[in-house]
Amino acid sequence: MFGISLAVLGDLNQDGFPDFAVGAPFDGDGKVFIYHGSSLGVVVKPSQVLEGEAVSVKSFGYSLSGGLDVDGNHYPDLLVGSLADTAVLFRARPVLHVSHEVSISPRAIDLEQPNCAGGHLVCVDLRVCFSYIATPSSYSPIVALDYVLDGDTDRRLRGQVPRVTFLSRGPDDPKHQASGTVWLKHQHDRVCGDTTFQLQENVKDKLRAIVVTLSYSLQTPRLRRQVPGQGLLPVAPILNAHQPSTQRAEIHFLKQGCGEDKICQSNLQLVHARFCARVSDMEFQPLPMDADGTTALFALSGQPFIGLELKVTNLPSDPAQPQADGDDAHEAQLLVSLPASLHYSGVRALDSVEKPLCVSNENASHVECELGNPMKRGAQITFYLILSTSGITIETTELEVELLLATISEQELHPVSARARVFIELPLSITGVAIPQQLFFSGVVRGESAMRSERDVGSKVKYEVTVSNQGQSLNTLGSAFLNIMWPHEIANGKWLLYPMRVELEGGQGPGQKGLCSPRPNILHLDVDSRDRRRRELEQQGRQEPPEQREPSTSWWPVSSAEKKKNITLDCDRGTANCVLFSCPLYSFDRAAVLHVWGRLWNSTFLEEYSAVKSLEVIVRANITVKSSIKNLLLRDASTVIPVMVYLDPVAVVAEGVPWWVILLAVLAGLLVLALLVLLMWKMGFFKRARYPEATVPQYHAVKIPREDRQQFKEEKTGTILRSNWGSPRREGPDAHPILAADGHPELGSDGHPVPGTV
């Protein structure tokens, strides 16, 4: 219950306005709130809160009594009662009003005039002085004040390294601080403390003042234990809470190159910021501009880096009044903010002397380039920022770099932007191959319901479509797709190529295989066990063995004379119907391969194309991008994979023909043979030619008697005289030829047998 008790305390802080106390005995163990008065009325925020828990009293603050000076120190005290049998006396502490002063020598820092011992650095001397007053004037205790001098406070609060180092500092003090203690013996006693700091070497910030902050506090004396029977011990004083206990002092630099008014009014200008193609390490070529000449045109075609040419000047804006501006630009910087698609990689300058120092943050999205400290009047600097294009995706349509010149000199600066419109030329190429490139069909017609395994369908074919990335790795964010137009039906709706399995390797990240849609094998045919084995061998790096021909039943081939010309089955020509298999390409560095296994639907070809000499089945593949980008350019983004289909010639020889065909062929052959024989007989082909008996000589063989053979054996020369054993020669029909010793007729000079005589 706040306000159950109330008491006027008098002027606790000796500011001329009365103060009061409000009790809240049931707020926890009880609380008492002390409020100060002021010229504007009551200060709403309590200056102090007394709690019963601190003194172990319940219902603390149930009753209050104030305005009495119990200990005689001229400050009103407060008595707090409770519902218990305990009351607590709170005595007011005397208030000290401290005066302090900071003296600096020299008042301005001249970097050209070193004054430290050793002669090469600049030092600054500091002196702090304190005194105090209190009420009543007779109250004059010895007071100890602890003080701390903090150098370059503002720079340190910005997270930057302070530019000063205190020479006379305590062993526990950091370099930028010095601490000390002054003892004030009585009121109005003025005591000072001295210290010195020196500037660090190669100070960059030569324009902003060095801020020194003085802070002090009252040293708390040790409490003495009260001896029983003695009076109340005096209480320790406190500092005036409404008086600041800190003081700031600024030490300025002598500003050189800032004109007669000592005010540096620079004129930093970013003359141009244009994107360039990086030809070599130190050679750059500006990108072409659009029609209005304000935006560069950038085609991403394997360029890992791009250059941003920057030229900064510090020249007078009006040559007729050169002293108006163009003064030295202290701590001249160029702040660069890059989009997520670009990252800082380095800096190049044609003149190594003019090369600025550029530093980027951790993710290379912000760059700070120091142009000079100061960047002198009339200075000009040209350099190139090297930016990595690894973050550019197919959704990137524009590159915008925000540039801001900064200086601590007097100049109002505004950010500018360098823009480039992106034409993304994806360096992708697509190729495809069919294995095998020739297919054959044979067998008998089977319905779709009769198919149980993929071997029942027909010859197997495998397509491999390879997408190669010739440039840098692209993160397509799922917008690019590899598509294959699969001719699964002919124009009348019959099966053409039946898809069994579709698999994408690459394009999904390391070690991942992508899923393509829609799913193949909609008839859920059993996969050939040999195919499973081949896939295992492929995974082991072995080459797939040639597939054996699957047996098929008998069929009646069509003669070559009856076969038609070639036919092309292509979805683009309307001779086939295609299903589109689409596979997302999320990210890949070098290549992604799409494997599609299928089967030639044997029954369709037997029904529709048995009288065709050859067929060409066309499978098409391409890369598409689902994006709102209008300036996306894809080259070589499609391919055509043909496969030739023939009637199986091996099956014609190996499988034979039906028996009734053979019987008819034999009977037809016999009939043709009989007709030929009859025709030749009618024409007299089988009649023999005969000569007249009067003109043809006749010969008769003669047998040599046994007794005459001995004479033949005794002849040494092997010559037998015809007069001894030959029969007489006859001219005419009864003449017989003369036989030689070997029993054969003797031949004349004309090659005919010599006739004998009678």
Q: Which residue has the tokens 């009618």?
A: 682
Domain 99-220+237-253 matching CATH 2.60.120.260: the answer reads no
pTM (2 d.p.): 0.46
User: Which pLDDT score is estimated for 736?
Assistant: 47
User: Which pLDDT score is estimated for 209?
Assistant: 85
Count of other CB atoms within 10 angstroms of residue 227: 8
Phi and psi (nearest 5°) for 602? -60, -40
Angle value at C-alpha 640, between 424 and 510, nearest 5 degrees: 55
Residue 297: which H helix or E strand, with range? Answer: strand 296-300
- Give the side-chain half-sphere CA count within 13 A for 284: 23
SS3 1: coil
User: Which pLDDT score is estimated for 509?
Assistant: 55
User: Which pLDDT score is estimated for 65?
Assistant: 92
pLDDT tens digits, one per residue of 577-635: 999 998 888 766 678 889 999 999 888 888 888 888 889 999 999 988 776 667 777 76
User: Which pLDDT score is estimated for 578?
Assistant: 93
How far is the C-alpha of 491 from the C-alpha of 744, rounded, in Å? 85
Looking at per-residue pLDDT, the higher value among 690 and 309 belongs to 309
| Tokens standing for residue 731 | 């001219």
How far is the C-alpha of 269 from the C-alpha of 310, rounded, in Å? 11
User: Which pLDDT score is estimated for 691?
Assistant: 57
Indicate the burial class of 673 (C-beta count within 10 angstroms; 0-12, 13-18, 19 or more): exposed
DSSP character at residue 318: -
User: Which pLDDT score is estimated for 545?
Assistant: 40
Contact 179, 213 (CB under 8 A): no
pLDDT at 86 over 80: yes
Looking at per-residue pLDDT, the higher value among 480 and 8 belongs to 8
Strands 416-426 and 296-300: parallel
Paired with 309 in beta bridges are 274, 384
User: Which pLDDT score is estimated for 720?
Assistant: 45
How far is the C-alpha of 503 from the C-alpha of 506, rounded, in Å? 10
CATH number of the 268-418 domain:
2.60.40.1510
- The mean per-residue pLDDT over the stretch 473-500 comes to 81
pLDDT tens digits, one per residue of 130-182: 999 998 888 999 999 999 999 999 989 988 899 999 998 888 889 999 999 99
Distances (CA, A) of 435 to 56, 186, 544, 597, 677: 95, 108, 11, 10, 55
pLDDT tens digits, one per residue of 440-459: 988 788 887 777 887 888 88
pLDDT at 661 over 50: yes
Q: How confident is the model at residue 230 (pLDDT cuts 50, 70, 90)?
A: low
| Tokens standing for residue 586 | 């999320």
User: Which pLDDT score is estimated for 87?
Assistant: 92
pLDDT at 549 over 70: no
- The mean per-residue pLDDT over the stretch 37-52 comes to 92
Q: What is the DSSP string of 338-351?
A: --TT-EEEEEE-SS
- Percent of the chain, pLDDT > 90? 39
Q: How far apart are the first and last CA of the chain?
A: 185
Looking at per-residue pLDDT, the higher value among 723 and 104 belongs to 104
pLDDT at 734 over 50: no
Q: What is the DSSP string of 361-380?
A: -TTS-EEEEEEETTB-TT-E
| Tokens standing for residue 304 | 């890992």
pLDDT at 53 over 50: yes
pLDDT at 653 over 50: no
Distances (CA, A) of 200 to 119, 160, 164, 205, 407: 13, 14, 6, 11, 21
- The mean per-residue pLDDT over the stretch 414-419 comes to 93
Q: What is the DSSP string of 224-284?
A: PPPPTTS-PPPPPPEE-TTS-SEEEEEEEEP--SSTTTT-----EEEEEEEEEEE-SSS-E
SS3 529: helix
Closest CA to 52 of 43, 42, 63: 63
Q: How confident is the model at residue 108 (pLDDT cuts 50, 70, 90)?
A: confident
DSSP character at residue 289: B
| Tokens standing for residue 337 | 């903010």
CB neighbours of 345 closer than 8 A, spacing ≥ 6?
305, 364, 386, 387, 388
pLDDT at 212 over 60: yes
- The mean per-residue pLDDT over the stretch 49-71 comes to 91
Contact 41, 17 (CB under 8 A): no
- Percent of the chain, pLDDT > 70? 79
Closest CA to 131 of 64, 73, 183, 65: 183
User: Which pLDDT score is estimated for 145?
Assistant: 95
pLDDT tens digits, one per residue of 691-732: 565 555 666 666 777 766 665 555 544 444 444 434 444 444
One-letter amino acid at 694 equals A
**Domain 428-528+563-646 in this protein, CATH class:** mainly beta
pLDDT tens digits, one per residue of 9-36: 998 888 889 999 999 999 999 999 999 9
User: Which pLDDT score is estimated for 299?
Assistant: 82
Looking at per-residue pLDDT, the higher value among 118 and 116 belongs to 116
pLDDT at 258 over 50: yes
Contact 274, 397 (CB under 8 A): no
Contact 335, 368 (CB under 8 A): yes
pLDDT at 741 over 70: no
Count of other CB atoms within 10 angstroms of residue 152: 26
| Tokens standing for residue 171 | 């062993």
| Tokens standing for residue 705 | 């008697």
Q: Which residue has the tokens 């902003």?
A: 208
